[in-house]
Amino acid sequence: MDSILDAEMEWKSVLNDVFARGLGTMAKRFIRINPDYSSQPPAMDAESDQSSLQKRMQEILRTNTEQSIIDAVARRLIASTFYFHISGIPEIRKSRIRYKGTVKNNRLVILNYLTL
């Protein structure tokens, strides 16, 4: 249980540091996946209990609440991987705006136009 409490204290310390640096608006961008095990976890050296712990964690992480958190993390990772580089003046066509540019990651060009 001490390690769980230590992890919680460390998380609070990170958030306090963010606020102390005047970056409080960034704190909402941080997501902690912290499933509630609801009981005392087995000792780290209790090998026979590790498979039941793993099974229980898989069950917890499959709940709608945890899945929505995991989904949010995945979306942020994907969104931060790509960017759209505008290479021309936007055009208005039939009440839509068309931007010429490219969606890129570090190496690939993914898309050449974006229409909103």
| The total number of residues written for the chain in this structure | 116
Looking at residue 23, its amino acid is L
Binning pLDDT at 50, 70 and 90, where does residue 3 land?
A: low
Q: Does the pLDDT value for residue 107 go beyond 50?
A: yes
pLDDT tens digits, one per residue of 56-106: 889 999 999 999 989 988 888 877 777 777 888 888 888 888 888 877 776
The residue with tokens 């249980």 is 1
pLDDT at residue number 116: 46
Instruction: Please report, rounded to a whole number, the percentage of residues in the chain having pLDDT higher than 90.
Output: 8
Please give the model's pTM, rounded to 2 decimal places: 0.54
Average pLDDT, the chain: 79
Helix/strand/coil (H/E/C) assignment for every residue in 37-77: CCCCCCCCCCHHHHHHHHHHHHHHHCCHHHHHHHHHHHHHH
Residues 6 or more apart whose CB falls under 8 angstroms from that of 102 comprise 84, 85, 87, 109, 110, 111, 112
pLDDT tens digits, one per residue of 17-59: 888 888 777 777 788 888 887 777 778 788 888 888 888 889 9
CA angle 38, 77, 108 (to 5 degrees): 155
The CA distances from residue 43 to 39, 54, 59, 74, in Å, are: 12, 13, 20, 31
- What is the CA 56 to chain-centroid distance, rounded? 22
Domain boundaries, the chain: 1-30, 50-81, 82-116
What are 106's strand-pairing partners? none
